[in-house]
Amino acid sequence: MPPPPKLYHLARLWIELTRQLHETAAPDKQAQFGSRTALLMIGAAVYVSTIEGRPITAKKLAGFVGMPRATVVRRLRALDRLGVLERTARGWRTSAKRMDQLSRSDTRAMALAVRSAADRLKR
């Protein structure tokens, strides 16, 4: 059997990283992984903007993640109700409580998945 194409390894990496990120960001929602990927993507994008010190607006976020603005707004409100995000005068950011929880997360599984995929892509 020939080795799988590189796209296969990238797809597997994306799935594994998404699952690991979901376990880290929403461990209490494991059974609903598939239906939560849009929330996860939006939450991750807001987290990135928070780390960069720039709250992000729904309009900019919609462009960044490639989703309709109305969908992004609904997901932002859901994440706000869950206490993951908070709205500021300048846009959305990850809540201080969530930032503290994420700072104590174990990211070894994600790092291992990246290393493993990188090794497979080198072949």
Tell me the percentage of the chain whose pLDDT exceeds 70: 83
**Torsion of Cα atoms, 74 then 75 then 76 then 79, to 10°:** 130
- Domain total for the chain? 1
Residue 21 lies in a domain: no
| pLDDT on residue 58 | 97
Q: Which one-letter DSSP state was computed for residue 56?
A: B
Q: What digits encode the pLDDT tens for the residues 86-122? A: 999 999 999 988 888 777 776 777 777 888 888 887 8
Q: What is the CATH number of the domain that holds 71?
A: 1.10.10.10
Q: Is residue 108 part of a domain?
A: yes
- What kind and span of H or E run contains 123? none
Structure tokens at 40: 């996860």
Record the pTM: 0.71
With respect to residue 22, please indicate whether it lies within any of the assigned structural domains.
no
**Does some domain include residue 106?**
yes
Judge whether 44 lies within some domain: yes
- Residue 2 placed within a domain: no
